[in-house]
Structure 1
Amino acid sequence: MAEAHQAVAFQFTITPEGIDFRLSHEALRQVYLSGLRSWKKKLTRIKNTVITGVYPASPSSWLFVVVAILATLYTRSDPSMGLINKIQEHLPVSGYLSHQSQTLLSALLFATLLWLAVILTMRYILKQLLSYHRWMFEVHGRMSNKTKVWLALVRIFSGRKPLLYSYQASLPHLPLPAIKDTMRRFLESVHPLLDDEQFKRMSALASDFENNLGPKLQWYLKLKALWASNYVSDWWEEYIYLRGRSPIMVNSNYYGMDFLYVTPTPIQAARAGNAIHAMMLYRRKLNREEIKPLLVQDCVPMCSDQYERIFNTTRIPGENSDAIQHMQDSKHIAVFHRGCFWRLWLYHGGRLLSPREMECQIQKILDDTGIPQPGEEKLAALTAGDRIPWAKARKAYFGNGKNRQSLDIIEKAAFFVCLDDSEQGMMGEDPGKSLDAYAKSLLHGKTYDRWFDKSFTFIVYKNGKTGVNAEHSWADAPIVSHLWEYVLATDCFQLGYNEDGHCKGDVDFTIPPPHRLTWDIPKECQDVITSSHAVAQALAEDVDFHVLPFREFGKGCIKKCKISPDAFIQIALQLAHYRDKGKFCLTYEASMTRLFREGRTETVRSCSKQSCAFVRAMENNRIELSEKLRLFQLASEKHQHLYRMAMTGGGVDRHLFCLYVVSKYLGVDSPFLKEVLSEPWRLSTSQTPVQQVELFDLVNHPDYVSCGGGFGPVADDGYGVSYMIVGEEMINFHISCKISSSETNAHRFGRHIHQSMMDILALFSNGKKNL
């Protein structure tokens, strides 16, 4: 076969005349092109490191400073105030240079030192400016003069044309709150959930902790906050994610959906070809740092640290703790179809495969009639079950031989692709039911057809619908969402399809076909696979899912009420939950702390005294409309304050979590921390933000809207709710819970959300607000 010959650079045989070399010129050419690509990447990485290293200045500014210093010397003035002469006196090579050369070299050294000093000064000033966050607490539309001056200074010291990681060194560290502030905010958050006796008891526990054990634990956290870039993130990654021993499927992984109303092509291989090519274009931009850093108010940068591990990343199981394995590069992807695993090369001849070539490669996998090897079909169930059996099986049965080689191919792939043989999306006679099934499929599939340990699994269905399932430890949902937005937009609006639904472009038929992975899985390992599959199957079958596309109104209508859309939705969720269960509960809303270096998330405790007062008023027909509107306004303002506090490092839960970790290291027990951190989040919520609005033209293409994504329930008797504000006129909700709980029902809760949204809007309509 041609590809077999291309895999060997040269061959030789011993002949009577000597050694006969037979070179394969094509193979040598591939080696050369591959090496050339690697060196180009290295040079680009070095160049970007230099540019980022001197930001907010530019490398060219060094030449300007040097020329300016030399010019002043020729005018017989000394801008260094004698420092150039001091440097000249101590030059180690002064005996080998003329006086003029010594002067030039000294001036060059001084100019370089001056340039570096200016860079460090600019960075320090920018860091101090970015540490100011009071601008977030000002009334929307009423910017103070102080904030205007601050914004102007930030723009001056922010530099021009930043790369993805340009601002990293200038981002401030996450501040460590005082113990007394965290205790006060915590007690305020639980007050509406406890009766008088319970609150009195909790206040006593908090007071004892604040006055006794708390200061000792805080001292260690202060040391860490001084030493580490972020006092939370490494412990959060390790203890919340990597040390978890339960399945990550449903419990941790989350998903993202395709367009709601549109499927650009019904051809599975074509959709896969375009999307995979778009992902690799994104990776190229990522490697070159050409992705623009996310800016708040178009000038305040957010941390870009999490982008680094989007590709070439796998979670490796361990008996006590998992680990994250990240490769600098990967030239292939791993593909799963009908129980068989494949390696598909992404490059040929030193270039990325075109969408049409990728489609042909995918089609070869789809057309293959091979059957799975023993144990191969459900092998990925190991990644869906408990972590300890998977870690032990990996060590015992995948340590060497063909199993080790095949597992390496999967774990070192750029990402994982599942060619699903089912059809999904909003379709059929019951589009709502089919949408729910689509969500469940993305969350867990058949429990053995996604490699849940990969940074993300790209799923392509038989009818051309797509989706993504992402592992959570390496990054948070906005990072995957950023990639997914780019892929959807590039697939449809840049790459496109021809009239027959196939990818555009030509095909090089000399490209080697995909390589089928081989396994030798013993009976004992197959038993572990069967056991893991049973655990995963039971978990998947217990998930109840409902996707609610809310079309009655959206962000545009809410803004006319002069209310934050997020606050509006969160208060509606509180009202819906009270109607669903007849009580309030501890509520988790995820917010980002990426205003700080290596920031991830903080919890907004959305159930507040103000939101509870409003909900009770809504359920009391004797209360006047004006009073309900007043209470809603108070609840909205309180929620916005809580969200801003969380974003600016004034949250409660990450501080308490780190105090708890320190207590475990010290071997001391805290009744307060133990009780606080064991409380379940019966309502866990998260917003999926649209970060690249410019990629989607909803005016001319209103059907090209994403449905967002979702996650599994956090508590056995609770709800998980993800929502996405799409354009001005639509909000999509993803609701999950467990079927085994008698207290929850996803569709019932969806009806309550719908009615709560309508009832709150009716307050403004009946109050004669200008909508």
Structure 2
Amino acid sequence: MAEAHQAVGFQFTVRPDGVDVKLSQEVIKNIYLSGVTAWEKRAIQFKNGILTGVYPASPSSWLIVVITMMSSLYICIDPSLGMIDTIKDNLPHSFYVFYWTYRSVLSAILFATGLWLFLIYLLRYTLKALLSYHGWIFESHGKMSTSTKVWLSLVKMFSGRRPLLYSFQASLPRLPVPSVDDTIHRYLESVRPLLDSEQYNQMEILATDFKNSKAAQLQRYLILKSWWGTNYVSDWWEEYIYLRGRSPIMVNSNFYIMDLLYLTPTHRQAARAGNVVHAMLKYRRKLERGELAPLRALGTVPMCSTQMERIFNTTRIPGIETGKKNCSDTVQHLTDRKHLVVYHKGRFFQVWLYTGGRHLLPSELETQFQRILNDTSEPQLAELKLAALTAGNRVPWARARVKYFSQGGNKVSLDAIESAAFFLTLDDEPQGYDPANTKSLDSYAKSLLHGKCYDRWFDKSFTLISYPNGKMGVNAEHSWADAPIVGHMWEYVLATDCFHLGYTEEGHCKGDVNKGLPHPTRLQWQIPKECQDVIETSYLSAKQIADDVDFHGYLFTEFGKGLIKKCRSSPDAFIQLALQLAQFRDQGVFCLTYESSMTRMFRDGRTETVRSCTSEAVAFVRAMEDAGATRLALFRKAADKHQHMYRLAMTGSGIDRHLFCLYIVSKYLGVDSPFLKKVLSEPWKLSTSQTPQQQLNLVDINKFPKYVGAGGGFGPVADDGYGVSYIIVGENLITFHISSKFSSPDTVRARRAMHRFMCIPFMLTLFLSIMNKGNKLTD
């Protein structure tokens, strides 16, 4: 064991003539290096904290202001208009001659410091005012007005130089609360194509009654919350949408991200895991020190970085009802944890990530992971399926955690998992994309999303999954952050793995092999019979969910965003309209459609909903079914409407988050609203999301076209609906991840529905022919 290995570094023996103490020089060296590293880390965090705290100014600017003020006093000019003399007169008296001699200097320094702080806040609030302008986002692509060019220049001027990850946080505007009239108007417009005249009139009556009676009271509380909190949506969204859910988070909430599509850097499982884990540790170090560059739209407009704080050392803790208190999970985020927990063939291992005050090198991590792979010991009693507790219903897991894992060895082992940097599974079945196997992406997706239901710790912020053929993937818990946050981290990791760390010709990690490291430590469990029953029940519940989920992955390579843009269309609107046509041809009806957009241009922003099934989209789809209809004009109109709604959602004028928060306020106040109940109960039968790639620009995919990822996906939101994730990769590739349930008769046992969704490429090609015809001739 690691503890026993380290204990031999310090020994002492009591003798009649005294105490004989023996110290290991190696241990003393490691202690010294660990201390040096810890103090270096604190110093860097302190320095970066100051740089972030005074941004967009810099600490050196304080010295410039002080020198300028002192120089002005030297030439008998008082730019403070008498304020320095006032400060000097009001300083406390002192008997020290030194103090009285230099009180003018001290007064000037105090005034200069106050002036400097005032200028910082002036710059910060000026930048916040500039960032509150969103007119640029509503302009046509490729066309920028003079006013926007001036605004963009001002943002660049006030943004300072070389910002750190959290430099812009204090300058980001708050998410605005839309007016009730605007939200209700947009809502009614969004449901008009989905309801017949009688249903729509009934909804209109409910909406009017709500607007005239209860809306003003609820809106006042919401505006008060927006003034008091940094974001009026995000905390309630995290709690009520994610943490209060009692159903399994596996499939229903967690999502996955795949590895590189066409390449596998090495086929050695331990080596690939070693490089990837080391790259993650490098990313975590940059994250903890705030050294990552903030993501910026147009290269200038900053995005909120709050969600990135909880990527590592974060676990969702199951909640249990206590009296009248509602049951809710919590998100536990720790700092400075230096170990990893690895699962392999039913055993849990603890691996230390540091030695001598530094990260383990990739070759050292490879050694540790290979030791685990070579370990032939058997799982302890009930250890094999232990992680199924995190895959089943939340209440049984919460009760079992309190009863069986709150003391003794079980508590120590569970604490090791929940405090680990992240969770790693060394899987024993190869996965990945195989061009010769049309179902390879389907199997890969299901493995990442749920695996065997007991070989991923679904409560961890993310589980890293390593396959025997060298492929990797990620399963991420959703409450703490959204998919782009994990996607940014994954882009950094893959680029670092392939272009900075690399492998030897034999496929091993580069660097010397250190066999002197203490071996990974087995976590110890004592699982009583009652707990074993809970584990088995959770496993069976999770397996039923996993077996019911069907996936289909498809790579569309006919064309991509390059050709779509040449046709003067937004790629996202293009694909959304294709999905509407696919849905209609599959089901024969239109349905409420969810598309996720981000609100990270605001402080603590997360997501907003774009309701893609518009009246314009419906008109276009019906025209596609009518050979004599005018199609191109309807397509243009529908695409423009979709883009406008997407922009409204991004700029804080969406529909669903506002109505959601009004509903939460109504529940707190005990106000009954049939309108809000009706809105919040509507099912999203078609749930879609686009995860952008190459946001960090770490890899030139034009130069390295094979270094592209396959993106990721999620399970269906509705039992009788579809979950569709699509990723626009480069100029000539679009990947689709489509999920549904076998048990739903509406999707015709899913498999036939998946084949119907295979007509997406056909429809995209049809769109292209229509637009080309329209561009050349007429509709």
Q: Aligned residue for 1:374?
A: 381
Q: Aligned residue for 2:681?
A: 678
Counterpart mapping for 1:224-239 below 5 A: 224-239=225-240
Q: Aligned residue for 1:723?
A: 726
Counterpart mapping for 1:346-361 below 5 A: 346-361=353-368
Q: Please, which moves more after superposition, 662-671 or 154-163?
A: 662-671
Cα distance between partner residues in 2 of 1:648 and 1:34: 46
* CA shift for structure 1 position 236: 0.4
Counterpart mapping for 1:649-728 below 5 A: 649-692=652-695, 694-728=697-731
Q: Aligned residue for 1:90?
A: 90
Q: Structure 2, unaligned stretches of length 5 or more?
A: 321-326
Q: Aligned residue for 2:390?
A: 383
* CA shift for structure 1 position 158: 0.7
Aligned counterpart for 2:482 among listed residues 452, 471, 476: 476
Equivalent position amino acid for 2:425 in 1? C
* CA shift for structure 1 position 98: 4.9
Equivalent position amino acid for 1:547 in 2? G
Equivalent position amino acid for 1:593 in 2? T
* CA shift for structure 1 position 604: 0.4
Q: Aligned residue for 1:405?
A: 412
* CA shift for structure 1 position 33: 2.4
Equivalent position amino acid for 1:46 in 2? F
The answer to whether structure 1 residue 589 and structure 2 residue 592 are counterparts is: no
* CA shift for structure 1 position 670: 1.1
Q: Deviations over 1:268-293 (max 9, x none)?
A: 10110111111111111112212111
Q: Aligned residue for 1:572?
A: 578
Q: Aligned residue for 1:742?
A: 745
8 Å contact 1:7–1:27 — kept in the other structure? no
Equivalent position amino acid for 1:607 in 2? C
Cα distance between partner residues in 2 of 1:545 and 1:692: 27
Q: Deviations over 1:235-267 (max 9, x none)?
A: 000110011000000000000001111111111
Counterpart mapping for 1:81-480 below 5 A: 81-96=81-96, 97-319=98-320, 320-427=327-434, 429=436, 431-480=437-486
Q: Please, which moves more after superposition, 175-184 or 742-751?
A: 742-751
Equivalent position amino acid for 1:52 in 2? T
Equivalent position amino acid for 2:344 in 1? H
Residue 126 of structure 1 aligns to a residue whose secondary structure is helix
Residue 519 of structure 1 aligns to a residue whose secondary structure is coil
Cα distance between partner residues in 1 of 2:773 and 2:641: 24
8 Å contact 2:367–2:514 — kept in the other structure? no
Equivalent position amino acid for 1:296 in 2? A
Aligned counterpart for 1:644 among listed residues 628, 644, 647: 647
Cα distance between partner residues in 1 of 2:509 and 2:188: 58
Q: Aligned residue for 1:752?
A: 759
Cα distance between partner residues in 2 of 1:155 and 1:388: 50
Cα distance between partner residues in 1 of 2:204 and 2:9: 74
8 Å contact 1:94–1:102 — kept in the other structure? no
Residue 262 of structure 1 aligns to a residue whose secondary structure is coil
8 Å contact 1:256–1:467 — kept in the other structure? yes
* CA shift for structure 1 position 693: 5.5
Equivalent position amino acid for 1:326 in 2? H
Q: Deviations over 1:440-472 (max 9, x none)?
A: 100000000000000000000011111000000
Cα distance between partner residues in 2 of 1:84 and 1:749: 78
Cα distance between partner residues in 2 of 1:693 and 1:226: 33
Q: Aligned residue for 2:59?
A: 59
Equivalent position amino acid for 1:298 in 2? G
Q: Aligned residue for 2:323?
A: none
Cα distance between partner residues in 2 of 1:65 and 1:411: 48
8 Å contact 2:38–2:357 — kept in the other structure? no
* CA shift for structure 1 position 769: 4.5
Q: Please, which moves more after superposition, 692-701 or 594-603?
A: 692-701
Cα distance between partner residues in 2 of 1:427 and 1:445: 19
Q: Deviations over 1:626-648 (max 9, x none)?
A: x2100100001100000000000
Residue 767 of structure 1 aligns to a residue whose secondary structure is helix
Residue 78 of structure 1 aligns to a residue whose secondary structure is coil
8 Å contact 1:332–1:345 — kept in the other structure? yes
Equivalent position amino acid for 1:483 in 2? M
8 Å contact 1:580–1:752 — kept in the other structure? no
Q: Structure 1, unaligned stretches of length 5 or more?
A: none
8 Å contact 1:221–1:659 — kept in the other structure? yes
* CA shift for structure 1 position 186: 0.5
Equivalent position amino acid for 2:378 in 1? I
8 Å contact 1:36–1:350 — kept in the other structure? yes
Q: Aligned residue for 1:30?
A: 30
Cα distance between partner residues in 2 of 1:406 and 1:333: 12
* CA shift for structure 1 position 742: 1.6
* CA shift for structure 1 position 585: 0.5
8 Å contact 2:2–2:519 — kept in the other structure? no
Q: Deviations over 1:311-355 (max 9, x none)?
A: 011111111111111111111111000000001111111111111
Aligned residues: 766
8 Å contact 2:2–2:521 — kept in the other structure? no
8 Å contact 1:603–1:653 — kept in the other structure? yes
Cα distance between partner residues in 2 of 1:466 and 1:602: 30
Aligned counterpart for 1:598 among listed residues 598, 601, 604: 604
Residue 685 of structure 1 aligns to a residue whose secondary structure is strand
* CA shift for structure 1 position 219: 1.2
Residue 746 of structure 2 aligns to a residue whose secondary structure is coil
Q: Deviations over 1:379-434 (max 9, x none)?
A: 000000000000000000001111000111110000000000001112384x2211
Equivalent position amino acid for 1:765 in 2? N
8 Å contact 1:189–1:608 — kept in the other structure? yes
8 Å contact 1:561–1:769 — kept in the other structure? no
Provide the identity percentage.
Answer: 64
* CA shift for structure 1 position 40: 2.0
Q: Deviations over 1:545-601 (max 9, x none)?
A: 000100111010001001111111111111111111111100000000000000000
Q: How big is the alpha-carbon RMSD for the aligned residues of Structure 1 and Structure 2?
A: 1.4
The answer to whether structure 1 residue 732 and structure 2 residue 735 are counterparts is: yes
* CA shift for structure 1 position 697: 2.6
Cα distance between partner residues in 1 of 2:680 and 2:667: 13
8 Å contact 1:338–1:377 — kept in the other structure? yes
Q: Deviations over 1:586-631 (max 9, x none)?
A: 00000000000000000000111111110011111121xxx21001
Residue 743 of structure 1 aligns to a residue whose secondary structure is helix
Aligned counterpart for 1:544 among listed residues 545, 550, 566: 550
Residue 432 of structure 1 aligns to a residue whose secondary structure is coil
Cα distance between partner residues in 2 of 1:646 and 1:768: 30
8 Å contact 1:44–1:288 — kept in the other structure? yes
8 Å contact 2:177–2:226 — kept in the other structure? yes
Equivalent position amino acid for 2:722 in 1? Y
Q: Please, which moves more after superposition, 638-647 or 507-516?
A: 507-516
Residue 257 of structure 2 aligns to a residue whose secondary structure is strand
Q: Deviations over 1:362-383 (max 9, x none)?
A: 0000000000000100000000
Equivalent position amino acid for 2:728 in 1? I
Q: Aligned residue for 2:635?
A: 632
Cα distance between partner residues in 2 of 1:574 and 1:342: 47
